């Protein structure tokens, strides 16, 4: 019998931990089916369906201070001579250029998962679904308008309102959500910005027929569900963001953009991991963001496909 197995998913945000869910699930099922596995995480909501102890530290994981354990981490940082340093492999498989799910699997279980095992699974509480239906009783589009972390993942306010106005003219109800560092005013929407906990965010994304989002946690949440997705990528290439669902990375999904911010950056092989820029300051976002007419046309296309799927 092995000592306690600790699988650590710390080191990123909610979206990063969701990307590690298939990896942790695979490890529990195939690598350690009979061992005492515990999950070191900031977001136990992501892993509750695995019925394993979750927490940020030994105390929360119900472990004694000197209890023996084996530690496997999704992070490329390792402890060498008492100091954290970057694994040399991370300078090759940089997370800007590889899907986070694959990045985590290589560091946690030393392999890339088969495609059929990459589908994210998230448990959504019935109570949370009920609360969403009370807030939004009709069919709706969930529009994630950015995060509080970094300029690159924020959409300009005028651009956001223009998208909303065009979609409302098509007859859609729009729910905006996200985590911003200040309140914003948007017209003709149900505004749930800074008002949702993780459970409610899961339920909101699952309940929407269409999700419009950038490179952020809601994109990874939707990996567990059957939504149509319009991705507005910012830094990473969409092939490194969209998840495999129903056997395809492009299933019910489309990425819209003029060009990627990373394409204006140079990351030659001789540079180190510290060269990553997760939150570059972008002054000319209109050079990167898709034309609103393309978002409108894609929404029309997806709506037709959605209506057809309901008749099958």
pLDDT in tens, 104-118: 999 999 999 999 999
Arithmetic mean of pLDDT, 301-308? 97
Q: Say whether both 69 and 217 belong to one domain.
A: no
Number of structural domains found in the chain: 2
Greater model confidence, 169 or 95: 169
Rounded-to-integer distance, Cα 111 and Cα 93, Å: 13
Query: Which of 57-71, 115-129, 159-173, 252-266 has the weakest average pLDDT?
Result: 252-266
Six-digit token string for 204: 């909101």
- The separation between CA 234 and the C-alpha centre of its own chain, rounded to angstroms, equals 14
- Whether residues 142 and 39 share a domain: the answer is no
| Whether residue 112 is found in the same domain as residue 156 | no
With 90 as the cut, is the pLDDT of residue 191 above it?
yes
36, two tokens: 């005492």
- Domain of 78, in residue numbers: 4-117
For 68-91, write each residue's pLDDT tens digit: 999 999 988 766 676 767 777 777
Answer with the one of 68, 83, 117 that is the final residue of a domain.
117
- Classify the phi-psi angles of 57: left when phi > 0, otherwise alpha if psi is within -120 to 50, otherwise beta: beta
CA distance 196 to 180: 12
Tokens representing 12? 């990123």
Choose one of 99, 117, 135: the last residue of a domain.
117
Distances (CA, A) of 61 to 4, 26, 64, 65, 180: 11, 20, 9, 11, 31
105 and 139, same domain (yes or no): no
CA atoms within 13 A on the CB side of 136: 25
Q: What is the mean pLDDT of residues 205-227?
A: 95
């Amino acid at each position: 019998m092995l000592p306690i197995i600790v699988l650590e998913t710390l080191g990123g945000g909610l979206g990063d931990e969701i990307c590690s869910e298939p990896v942790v699930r695979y490890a529990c099922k195939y690598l350690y089916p009979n061992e005492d596995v515990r999950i070191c995480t900031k977001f136990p909501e992501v892993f509750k369906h695995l019925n394993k102890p979750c927490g940020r530290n030994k105390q929360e994981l119900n472990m004694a201070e000197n209890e023996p354990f084996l530690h496997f981490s999704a992070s490329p940082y390792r402890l060498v001579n008492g100091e954290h340093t970057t694994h040399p492999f991370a300078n090759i498989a940089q997370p800007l250029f590889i899907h986070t799910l694959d990045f985590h699997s290589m560091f946690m279980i030393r392999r890339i998962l088969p495609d059929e095992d990459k589908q994210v699974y998230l448990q959504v509480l019935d109570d949370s679904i009920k609360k969403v239906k009370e807030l939004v009783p009709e069919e709706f589009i969930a529009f994630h308008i950015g995060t509080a972390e970094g300029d690159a993942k924020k959409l300009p306010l005028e651009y956001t309102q223009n998208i909303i106005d065009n979609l409302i003219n098509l007859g859609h109800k729009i729910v905006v959500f996200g985590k911003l560092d200040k309140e914003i005013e948007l017209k003709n929407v149900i505004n749930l910005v800074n008002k949702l906990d993780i459970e409610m965010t899961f339920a909101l994304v699952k309940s929407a027929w269409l999700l419009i989002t950038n490179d952020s946690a809601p994109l990874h949440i939707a990996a567990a569900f059957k939504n149509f997705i319009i991705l507005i990528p910012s830094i990473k290439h969409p092939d490194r963001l969209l998840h495999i669902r129903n056997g395809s990375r492009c299933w019910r999904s489309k990425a819209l953009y003029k060009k990627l911010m990373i394409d204006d950056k140079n990351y030659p092989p001789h540079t180190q991991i510290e060269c990553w820029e997760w939150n570059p300051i972008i002054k000319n976002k209109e050079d990167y963001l898709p034309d609103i007419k393309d978002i409108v046309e894609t929404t029309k296309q997806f709506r037709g496909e959605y209506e057809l799927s309901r008749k099958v």
